[in-house]
Amino acid sequence: MDRSSNLKIVKARTEPWDIVIIGGGATGSGCALDAASRGYSTLLVEQHDFGKGTSSRSTKLIHGGVRYLRQGNISLVREALRERSILLKNAPHVVRKQAFVIPCYSLWQKVFYGFGMKVYDLLAGRHNIGASRIISREETLRHLPNLKEQNLSGGVLYYDGQFDDTRLLIDILRTANERGAVVLNYAKVAALTKDAEGKINGLEFEDTETGEKFSVAAKCVINATGAFSDPVRKMSDAGAKNIITFAQGIHLVFDRKFLPSDSALMIPKTSDGRVLFCIPWHDHLMVGTTDTAVETAEIEPHALESEIDFILETAAEYLTAKPARDDILSIFAGIRPLVKNASNVKTSSLSRGHDLFVDASGLITITGGKWTTYRRMAEDAVDKAAAITGVAPRKCVTEDLPITGPPHTDIESERLHPDLPYTQADVMHAVRFEMARKLEDVLGRRTRALFLNAQAAVEVSRKVAEIMAAELRKDNDWTNTEVASFEDLSSSYSRPFA
């Protein structure tokens, strides 16, 4: 992927695009891959960096959702379990099978959760990735070495998928790009254009790096802007009612010593009625998440003190050596875009299924859903695009389409920091082949340094900015500005004061 070549293609194009997608998160990137692999001319524009929104801030699970099973949302669980097996097949380099253990402190819990997970297995059917089973106290402790032992009677072992969200995102975009999709980050849509009949026939965006304005013609526009869907819908219909409501979720990242195991801990019921996961991730421990109704969607949301306390307190109920505030290596928050289905409903009970809306001018909005179901969401959106715009219908092919990983490089390279698993070559690769433009793109989303250890990420920021400046032919001022703005950004990922 190369940004300047992609910009040149956009400038040279005189024909309308078959499909233009707004938003470079999981949903929009999935749409770009789906549309390009069907043979449609496809453009995707993202206002910040790819994955800057919710799609970099997930719990990193490719799952049916045990929680949705408890809510009785059988069709959503089945669909997600099917998508899980498609992803394990198509992207095995980034999605893997993960063992989870639900600890049980009574016989009743063993029976209840043991039965629940058998239903989960059954719903997966031939897509199941490993049978769940009730395990003994000893086996539970072997899986979860730092678990509280008092009154522990055993556990339930089950399997789900785990991944690195932005790594998969970049690989989806790379595969889409290889199939002919043109993808641009730092391209902010400012307006939609319409023909004499009031039908959308294109859009205007700004290259936020240069300020240059572009107007592109399109047979169809898909709005895949997640939590930002309503402002884009209002570009089409100023009077459109808001359909999205927001729920924030945060995660805390700790040293692996708090769960020195390859298995994950699943806490099936917290004081707010949710589940909480403690998951090994890139040799760290990630704990989350919360579900807090928030009024507005920020592109860079901030964890609330109450959310941090809730995670620390819940983890402390289950772990013998308890992580404290001082142990937090990184904090990240994300906003769930939930489609409203009624007024006065708690956000945690709103549907995680996806929704498709088409307004009078033909703007397609695809939103809600989960990372796990991004492929299915894209299929539905592109089917709809073909149905309403007169582009020739073509069959979706993504079910059997491998998602390509980064090319293998043998470059010997120095590690950036003893506490981070990244090298100088990773930085060069991100700039040369993955369209990283800013320091936070490399430290937050091409590598996951900021999400793993915010302090270490700050410590390497100047070195990384200098490597990037050499690659991008930028001067010292650029380096200084990038380092300063990264330090500013990283403060909300850093350990809060006790």
Ligand X SMILES: Cc1cc2nc3c(=O)[nH]c(=O)nc-3n(C[C@H](O)[C@H](O)[C@H](O)COP(=O)(O)OP(=O)(O)OC[C@H]3O[C@@H](n4cnc5c(N)ncnc54)[C@H](O)[C@@H]3O)c2cc1C
Q: How many residues bind ligand X (CB under 6 A)?
A: 39
- Token look-up 């703007």 returns 363
Neighbours of 404 (CB within 10 A): 15
Interaction pattern, residues 259-298, with ligand X; x per rule: CB under 6 A = ------------------------------x---------
Shortest spacing between CB 443 and ligand X, in angstroms: 17
Question: What are the backbone angles phi and psi of residue 371, rounded to the nearest 5°?
Answer: -55, -45
Shortest spacing between CB 71 and ligand X, in angstroms: 15
d(CA 358, CA 366): 9
Among 7, 19, 21, 61, binds ligand X (CB under 6 A): 61
Closer CB to ligand X, residue 151 or residue 210?
210
27 binds ligand X (CB under 6 A): yes
Are 115 and 161 in contact by the 8 Å Cβ rule? The answer is no
Integer CA distances (angstroms), 459 to 325, 376, 487, in order: 20, 40, 10
Shortest spacing between CB 423 and ligand X, in angstroms: 27
Q: Choose the stretch contacting ligand X; rule: CB under 6 A; options: 5-13, 25-33, 261-269, 444-452.
A: 25-33
DSSP 8-state secondary structure symbol assigned to residue 250: E
Q: Give kind and range of the element (H or E) at residue 333.
A: strand 330-339
Residues in 177-206 at the binding interface with ligand X, rule: CB under 6 A = 188-189
Residues in 327-356 at the binding interface with ligand X, rule: CB under 6 A = 334-336
251 beta partners: 288, 332
Q: Choose the stretch contacting ligand X; rule: CB under 6 A; options: 16-24, 146-154, 313-321, 450-458.
A: 16-24
41 binds ligand X (CB under 6 A): no
DSSP labels, 126-171:
GG--S--EEE-HHHHHHHSTTB--TT--EEEEEEEEEE-HHHHHHH
Buried b (16+ CB within 10 A) or exposed e, 314-329: bbeebbeeebeeebbb
Q: What share of the chain is helix, strand, coil (3-state, %, to 5)?
A: 40, 25, 35
Interaction pattern, residues 78-117, with ligand X; x per rule: CB under 6 A = ----------------------------------------
d(CA 133, CA 124): 15
Residues in 224-253 at the binding interface with ligand X, rule: CB under 6 A = 224-228, 232, 249
Closer CB to ligand X, residue 228 or residue 416?
228
Among 6, 58, 140, 398, binds ligand X (CB under 6 A): 58
**Nearest Cα to 111, choosing from 155, 149, 177?**
155
53 binds ligand X (CB under 6 A): yes
Question: What are the backbone angles phi and psi of residue 477, rounded to the nearest 5°?
Answer: -60, -45
Shortest spacing between CB 201 and ligand X, in angstroms: 18
Among 38, 57, 179, 438, binds ligand X (CB under 6 A): 57
Q: Choose the stretch contacting ligand X; rule: CB under 6 A; options: 18-26, 103-111, 133-141, 355-363.
A: 18-26
Footprint of ligand X on this chain (CB under 6 A)?
22-28, 45-48, 52-55, 57-61, 188-189, 224-228, 232, 249, 289, 299, 334-336, 367, 369-372
